[in-house]
Chains A and B, each alone.
Chain A
C-alpha cells in the first residue's frame, strides 16, 4: 500500500506543481476572491459633489421659471432621495428574484446599507446647482463660451460659479405651429453641456428640461397637469407563482443557476482529473517508462496510485472552486442558498463520477500508443459525458419527471443528474439518493474490475491501436 501512495503523491505533484495548472486553475478563483474583497473597498468612494449653474435662454418665456423651480435646493435633495429609494428597490427586487428571502434578505440589505460604497444614495452624486436665466436675445455662441472650461468639480467662493450647461429653448418647442397626421409638431431644443459633466447630472438636467417643457405645453393647451400625469402612469403587475405552500414570488434565476453551477463544478473537476490521468498514462506508455515502473510495482498498484493521485487533483479543483463560490455567497450573505448537506453529497457523487471516469481514462490511456489514437476511443466516452450538459435544462425545469428519474439510475451519468436534481427547488424522493449511490457504487466496482484487466494487458502492448472490441476481448481474456 505504501508504494501506491508514493505513486499517488508523485502523480499529484506532477499535475499540480506545474505552471499550467497553477495559472489555469488556481488563478481564476483567486482573482474572483480578490475581486469580491477589493470591489467594495474600491466602490467605497462617494461620487464627488457637482457645483455649478445651468444657463437658460428661454425664448418661449414659459419654461425658465419651471426649470428654476426644479433646481431649487429642496427639489434637488428630494429627487436625490427619490432616486436612492428606486435604486434600493431595484436591488431588493434583484435579491428576491435570486431566490433569497426572509432573514438572509434582511442581512443582505443591512450589509448593503452598512457599506458606504454600496449604500444606494452614494450612487447618485450630490449636486449644488443653480439656474441662471439669460435674456432671450443672448447669442448662443457667446453664452456657450463659459462652458468650455467648466468641470463641475471646482467650488467657487462667490456666487460666480462655473457654467455646466446651457439650455436654449426656442418658442416653437413649446408652441406648435404645424400639425402632422393630427399630431402637433414641436421644434427640438438645445442642451449644451460641459464635456466632463457627470452622466447622472446630465441625465437629470435633460429630464427636468423635458418635464418643464411638457408642463409648459400642457399649460399652454389649457390642460390640468396632475390629471394628465395620473392618466399616463404605467400600470404595475404583481407576479406570483402558485405552489402547494401558497403563493411565492418567482425566483427563476436561482432555479436555473444553482443546480447548473453544482453540476458544472462536478463535471469540470471530474473531467479535468480524468484528462490528466489519460495524458499521464499515455505519456508513460509512449515514453516507454512503463516497464521500468512495472519492474518495481504491479500494474494494479500503478493504476491505483495514479487514480488516487489524479483524484486528489480533482478534489483540489472541486475544493478551490466550491470554496471560492462559498466565499462569494458568504460575502453577500447568501449562504442560505445552499444546504451544507449538499456539499457532502457533492463529495460522494464526485467520488463515484471520478472513479468511473478515471477507470475509463486509465484503460484508454493504457491501451493506446499515443494521444492521437486515444481520440477515437475517447469519442464515445465524451458523448456520454456530454449528456448531463445537454439534459441540464429539461431536468431543471422538471426535476421529478419520469425522464429525470430514469436518468438518475443510468450508470456513468447518474451522479451528474442527481446533483442537478438535488440542487433544484423541488425535493427529490429521499429513497432515490441511496438508490442512485448504490447504482453508482456498482458501476464503480464493475469499472474497476474491467479496467484493471485492460490496464494490465494494455500497458505493455505496443503496435496496432485497439478498438472497443479488442478492449472487451481483453476484459474477457484475463
Chain B
C-alpha cells in the first residue's frame, strides 16, 4: 500500500518555541487517521505544513507522491481550524467559488453545490447570505467546501468543534462515507469519543513530539486494562468472595461497582461465567480502554489540569461525551 503522506524528520520552530520536533509519519492511502494531542501540541502546525501553508525548518515531506501540497492542491480537501466564510456572499455563490478555485468548471461546480446542499439538508439556503446561517449550518457549508471537488486526501482540523449531537452524528456519517469512498482522511480533534468511533489509526502528539502512532486495534491491545466490571443487583452481594475468583489479582469497589483486576494469563470468559454464578448481576463487562484515560496517562501532568483542558466547552458536548 502506498502512503498518501510521508513525513521524515520534520522540524518547525516559532521563535524559541519548538512546535514540531523530528517528526516521522506515514499515512497510508485509504486510512482514517486521527490526530490528537493537547492544545498547542503541534497538531495544527503539522497539518499546516502538510498543506504547505507554512514551511518546515527542516525535514522531508511528501503529499500524494509530490514534494509539496501546492502541486496537488486540487486533489486535497482541507478544512482549517480557523475557518470562515464570506459573510456577505450567498451560500451557493460561495460554494461555487471554492469549487471553481479547486479546478471544477462552472457547470460542474453549480451541479455539485446543489447536490451537496440537498444532501446536508440546506437546499433552501442556496440564495441566502452566509451570515444568515447558524453556526452548525456554516460548519456544514464549510465541510462541503472541503469535499466538493472529491479530493483524494481530506484533512479536517477540529471538525467537531461547535456542533450539537445531531450534527456531530451527521458529520461522523459524512466522514465515514468519504472514507468508504476510498479517500484518505486525517482529522484532528479534542473529541475522544469521535476519535474512538471513527479512526482506524491514531496519531498523538505532545509538546511537538510524536507519542502514539498505531492502528486502533493495537492501541486497545496495548492499553487493555485487563479488568472486569461487576455490579450486583443487591448491594449485600458486594461482600461475596469476588477476589478469590480464579485469575483475579485485585478487587476495587466504588459505589456498588466492583472492578476486578486480572492477571495477564487469566481466562476472561471462564471468569465471567464464574462471576455470574456468584450473584445476581446488573452489569458484567470486560472493561475496555478509554481514549481519554490513555490520553491523560500519556500526556501526564496533573490529571485535573488536563481534564480542564479537555473538557468540552458547551453542555451539549459534555453530555455527548458522558453518554458516549
Q: Is A295 within 8 A of B84, CB to CB?
A: no
Question: How distant is the Cα of A364 from the Cα of B87 in the complex, in angstroms?
Answer: 21
Contact of A460 among B54, B76, B89, B101 (CB under 8 A): B54
Contact of B101 among A3, A283, A287, A291 (CB under 8 A): A3
Question: How distant is the Cα of A462 from the Cα of B44 in the complex, in angstroms?
Answer: 14
Question: How distant is the Cα of A298 from the Cα of B51 in the complex, in angstroms?
Answer: 11
A10 at the interface (CB under 8 A from B): yes
B97 at the interface (CB under 8 A from A): yes
A95 at the interface (CB under 8 A from B): no
Question: How distant is the Cα of A292 from the Cα of B101 in the complex, in angstroms?
Answer: 11
Contact A288-B82, Cβ < 8 Å, known A14-B89, A460-B54? yes
Contact of B80 among A283, A284, A292, A298 (CB under 8 A): A292
B187 at the interface (CB under 8 A from A): no
Q: Is A289 within 8 A of B78, CB to CB?
A: no
Question: How distant is the Cα of A154 from the Cα of B189 in the complex, in angstroms?
Answer: 91
Q: Is A287 within 8 A of B80, CB to CB?
A: no
Q: Is A297 within 8 A of B85, CB to CB?
A: no
Q: Return A280 CB to nearest CB of chain B, in Å.
A: 9
Question: How distant is the Cα of A460 from the Cα of B82 in the complex, in angstroms?
Answer: 9
CB-CB under 8 A from A3, the residues of chain B are: 100-101
- The residue among B74, B98, B101 with the most chain A CB atoms within 10 A of its own CB is B101
Interface residues on chain B, number (Cβ under 8 Å): 28
Q: Return B98 CB to nearest CB of chain A, in Å.
A: 6
Question: How distant is the Cα of A295 from the Cα of B77 in the complex, in angstroms?
Answer: 8
Q: Is A10 within 8 A of B80, CB to CB?
A: no
Q: Is B86 within 8 A of A295, CB to CB?
A: no
Q: Is A291 within 8 A of B87, CB to CB?
A: no
Q: Is A292 within 8 A of B84, CB to CB?
A: yes
Contact A292-B73, Cβ < 8 Å, known A6-B100, A460-B54? no
CB-CB under 8 A from B145, the residues of chain A are: 292
Question: How distant is the Cα of A298 from the Cα of B53 in the complex, in angstroms?
Answer: 8
CB-CB under 8 A from B101, the residues of chain A are: 3, 6-7, 293, 296-297
In chain A, positions 286-325 with a C-beta closer than 8 Å to chain B are 287-298
CB-CB under 8 A from A7, the residues of chain B are: 101
| Closest residue of B by beta carbon distance from A295 | B78
- The residue among B74, B100, B102, B142 with the most chain A CB atoms within 10 A of its own CB is B100
Question: How distant is the Cα of A292 from the Cα of B84 in the complex, in angstroms?
Answer: 7
Q: Is A287 within 8 A of B53, CB to CB?
A: no
Contact of B73 among A14, A296, A460 (CB under 8 A): A296
| Closest residue of A by beta carbon distance from B51 | A295
CB-CB under 8 A from B278, the residues of chain A are: none
CB-CB under 8 A from A289, the residues of chain B are: 83-86
Q: Return A461 CB to nearest CB of chain B, in Å.
A: 10
CB-CB under 8 A from B85, the residues of chain A are: 287, 289, 292
Question: How distant is the Cα of A245 from the Cα of B53 in the complex, in angstroms?
Answer: 65
Q: Return B87 CB to nearest CB of chain A, in Å.
A: 6
Contact A288-B84, Cβ < 8 Å, known A6-B97, A6-B101? yes
Q: Is A294 within 8 A of B53, CB to CB?
A: yes
CB-CB under 8 A from B142, the residues of chain A are: 292
CB-CB under 8 A from B53, the residues of chain A are: 291, 294-295, 460
Q: Is B98 within 8 A of A288, CB to CB?
A: no
Question: How distant is the Cα of A297 from the Cα of B51 in the complex, in angstroms?
Answer: 11
Q: Is A287 within 8 A of B89, CB to CB?
A: no
Q: Is A298 within 8 A of B83, CB to CB?
A: no
Q: Is A291 within 8 A of B97, CB to CB?
A: no
CB-CB under 8 A from A296, the residues of chain B are: 73-74, 98, 101-102
Contact A291-B98, Cβ < 8 Å, known A296-B73, A297-B73? no
- One digit per residue, 1 when the CB lies within 8 angstroms of any chain B CB and 0 when it does not, for chain A 317-360 equals 00000000000000000000000000000000000000000000
CB-CB under 8 A from B79, the residues of chain A are: 292
Question: How distant is the Cα of A287 from the Cα of B79 in the complex, in angstroms?
Answer: 14
Q: Return B49 CB to nearest CB of chain A, in Å.
A: 12
B118 at the interface (CB under 8 A from A): no
B170 at the interface (CB under 8 A from A): no
Question: How distant is the Cα of A211 from the Cα of B276 in the complex, in angstroms?
Answer: 133
Contact A287-B86, Cβ < 8 Å, known A6-B97, A293-B101? yes
CB-CB under 8 A from A284, the residues of chain B are: 86
Question: How distant is the Cα of A287 from the Cα of B129 in the complex, in angstroms?
Answer: 14
Q: Return B156 CB to nearest CB of chain A, in Å.
A: 11
Question: How distant is the Cα of A7 from the Cα of B84 in the complex, in angstroms?
Answer: 17
B70 at the interface (CB under 8 A from A): yes
Contact of A298 among B54, B70, B100, B146 (CB under 8 A): B70
Q: Which 5 A-B pairs have the closest CB atoms?
A: A288-B84, A295-B78, A291-B80, A296-B101, A287-B84
List residues of chain A with CB under 8 Å of any chain B CB.
3, 6-7, 10, 14, 283-284, 287-298, 460, 462
List residues of chain B with CB under 8 Å of any chain A CB.
48, 51, 53-54, 70, 73-74, 76-80, 82-89, 97-98, 100-102, 142, 145-146
**Sample (12) of A-B pairs whose CB atoms are under 8 Å apart:** A3-B100, A3-B101, A7-B101, A283-B86, A288-B80, A289-B84, A291-B80, A292-B80, A292-B142, A295-B146, A296-B73, A297-B73
Q: A288-B82, A296-B74 are in contact. List 17 more A-B contacts (CB 8 A).
A: A6-B101, A7-B101, A10-B97, A14-B89, A283-B86, A287-B87, A288-B83, A291-B53, A291-B78, A291-B80, A292-B83, A292-B142, A295-B53, A295-B146, A296-B73, A296-B102, A297-B101
